[in-house]
Homo-oligomer: A and B are copies of this chain.
Amino acid sequence: MAYYIGVDIGGMSIKAGIVDESGRILVKDSIVPRVEEGQSAITEDMYHLCEKVCAKANMKLDDVTGIGFGSPGTVDTAKGVITFAANLGFYRYNLIKEFGRLWYCKLAVGNDANCAALGETRFGSGQNKKNTLFVTLGTGVGTGFIVDGKILTGHKGAGSEGGHICIRMGGERCSCGEKGCWEAYASATALIRQTQQAIEKNPESMLKTIALRDGEVTGKTAFEAAKLGDPVAEKVVDTYARYVATGIVLLTNVFRPEIVMIGGGVSNAGSALIDRVTRIVNRHCFGSRKVNDVPEIVQASLGNDAGIIGAASLVMD
């Protein structure tokens, strides 16, 4: 059995785990990166975290076949360079070269959503599929495409920014500065905004009761109220599902995956989200009423572990 380390890099926390060749995590741990001390300090932090998970698993460094890293932002996997990751201060940083000085083994780095897509496809909800789409509905909307079993990265790794597809020209302002991006309609942030607006217009709805109980509006508020039969909440959820589905239909028409795996916080709504999205996708994909297969829509199954498992998958070939 070969063993790998997957490192899931985030601005608030870096997670790492020992992953075996069947995609199982043996042990995992995390650290808070020293972002303010710069790129080299973060790289040293990651080295110590990898040592720590090895120790935790009673393994020597030599027992690890390879280490894969999943980073936010733009990553040039071919060169091992994190081109730009705002939260971490990485800018044109050759992580593989720098990490390789501390621990030389098989190393690779990819975009975190792409890694999660690879992990979900190899070991999660997309197993045995060759063309898959992974969508994460969280603070933003992330996407990862697997084409013929490989990550689609685009030129210099700058592709797969599926959150920033324009679904409504001149529409809502997005965090990226543009208008009408999918992310501005289908992220958890957008769902919270849509829920807040519904509460303002309908202060008598169950949405408000739940928000007051929880002390805030979250991505769960509307789904919970809809489940209890609140018509205002049902409308919020239906509209939100339509936004999610619009982006999925768009990407399906271009890229025609066999399966669309939905992850991120909002995906925890489960069938309340998946069933609604499925109905819309089935109806609106190009050619769906004639002969073209419509992709299956499922909830991603690896949850928060997709990052670690996906990063480890990068070095499994």
Residues in chain A within 8 A of chain B (CB atoms) = 74, 83-84, 91-92, 130-131, 143, 145, 147, 152-162, 164-171, 176-178, 180, 246, 249-251, 253-258, 284, 286-287, 289-293, 295
Contact = CB atoms under 8 A, between A and B. Distances in A.
Contact of A254 (B155, B162, B177): B162
A287 B158 contact: yes
28 contacts: A83-B291, A84-B291, A92-B291, A131-B154, A131-B155, A145-B254, A147-B152, A152-B255, A154-B257, A155-B256, A156-B293, A158-B256, A158-B292, A159-B253, A159-B254, A160-B254, A161-B253, A161-B286, A161-B287, A164-B253, A164-B286, A165-B250, A167-B168, A168-B180, A169-B171, A176-B286, A178-B284, A254-B255
Name the residue among A130, A154, A160, A167 with the largest chain B CB count within 10 angstroms: A154
Most buried by B among A143, A153, A171, A292: A292
Interface of A: prevailing SS? loop
What 6 A-B pairs are tightest by C-beta distance, nearest first? A154-B256, A159-B256, A158-B292, A161-B253, A158-B256, A164-B286
A293 B158 contact: yes
Contacts of A293: 155-156, 158
Nearest to A143: B254
Nearest to A150: B148
Contacts of A256: 153-161
A157 B255 CA distance: 9
Contacts of A176: 286
A177 B155 CA distance: 34
Given A165-B250, A251-B254, 19 more contacts: A84-B291, A145-B254, A147-B152, A153-B256, A154-B254, A156-B292, A156-B293, A157-B256, A159-B254, A160-B254, A162-B253, A164-B253, A165-B165, A165-B253, A166-B167, A167-B169, A168-B168, A168-B170, A168-B180
A285 to B, nearest CB: 9
B250 A155 contact: no
A307 B164 CA distance: 32
Contacts of A177: 289
Contacts of A131: 154-155
A154 B147 CA distance: 7
Nearest to A258: B155
A246 B154 contact: no
Nearest to A152: B147
A168 to B, nearest CB: 5
Nearest to A86: B290
Nearest to A176: B286
